[in-house]
Amino acid sequence: MIFKQVPVGSFQNFSYIIGDPKTHTATLVDPAWEVDKLLDLCTDAGLTVSHIINTHSHHDHVEGNDAVVKRTHAKVVAHQSSPVRKDIPVDDGDSIEVGSLRVRVLYTPGHCPDHICLLVDGKVLTGDTLFVGECGRTDLTGGDAGAMYDSLFNKLMSLNDSTEVYPGHDYGRKPSSTIREERSTNYTLKERTKEEFIKFMAQP
């Protein structure tokens, strides 16, 4: 697998390129702010973009969709509840085939109602659900701390310890991590009941 984490824009966003070296196809995850840079990286790696996957519909993760579609005719994949213009609506447990690669969808609401995380080849792309050393905020429109608890503790923390974590923003001490590291060092993942977590998230 060809995998690139690409810093874009001025909000510390990460876009991702997931490429299949066998079929020379790629998916862009959360293309935004610097579409030329992303497409140039694909061209340099000999990859044609077949899909865009949005982890969620916030502007800083989707604002490059239209420009990419215009230039590549890629199909847009997003959660079925997402308001973005999409070709392939998905839900928990679905898989997206990118050439010979399989990207599995985990539905992880909490930061917003249409949030998904993506599992591929021992890596999880966590969007704005989990950052290195932090979790996503739940005080924006559609945010839900109870749903975030379930997404973090019942979905992400049930992944293998060795799974690599690739977040949607560069907010941590380093750009990526593992489930093992987050479980043991991320203060938002300390053992709490759901009620305690909801109170914790309501603190300033």
Nearer of residues 139 and 161 to Fe ion, judged by Cβ: 139
User: What is the nearest approach in angstroms of Fe ion to the Cβ of residue 56?
Assistant: 6
Residue 115 within binding range of Fe ion, rule CB under 5 A: no
Stretch that binds Fe ion, among 3-11, 90-98, 101-109, 126-134 (CB under 5 A): 126-134
Is 58 one of the binding residues for Fe ion (CB under 5 A)?
yes
Least CB distance to Fe ion at residue 2 (A)? 26
Q: Which is nearer to Fe ion, 99 or 168 (CB)?
A: 168
Burial class of residue 160 in the structure, from the number of CB atoms within 10 Å of its CB (0-12 exposed, 13-18 middle, 19+ buried)? exposed
Q: Which residues contact 70 (CB under 8 A, 6 or more apart)?
A: none
CB-facing half-sphere around the CA of 147: CA atoms within 13 A: 18
Helix H or strand E encompassing 49: strand 48-53
Quote the least distance from Cβ 112 to Fe ion, whole Å: 6
Tell me which of 17, 128, 151, 166 binds Fe ion, using CB under 5 A. Answer: 128
Regarding 20 and contact with Fe ion (CB under 5 A), the answer is no
Number of H-type helices and E-type strands within the chain: 6, 14
Q: Are 6 and 38 in contact (CB under 8 A)?
A: yes
Judged by beta carbon, residue 20 or residue 30, the one nearer Fe ion is: 30
- Helix residue spans in the chain (DSSP H): 35-44, 59-62, 65-72, 145-149, 179-185, 194-202
- Which residue lies nearer to Fe ion by CB, 25 or 58? 58
Give the binding site for Fe ion (CB under 5 A). Answer: 58, 128
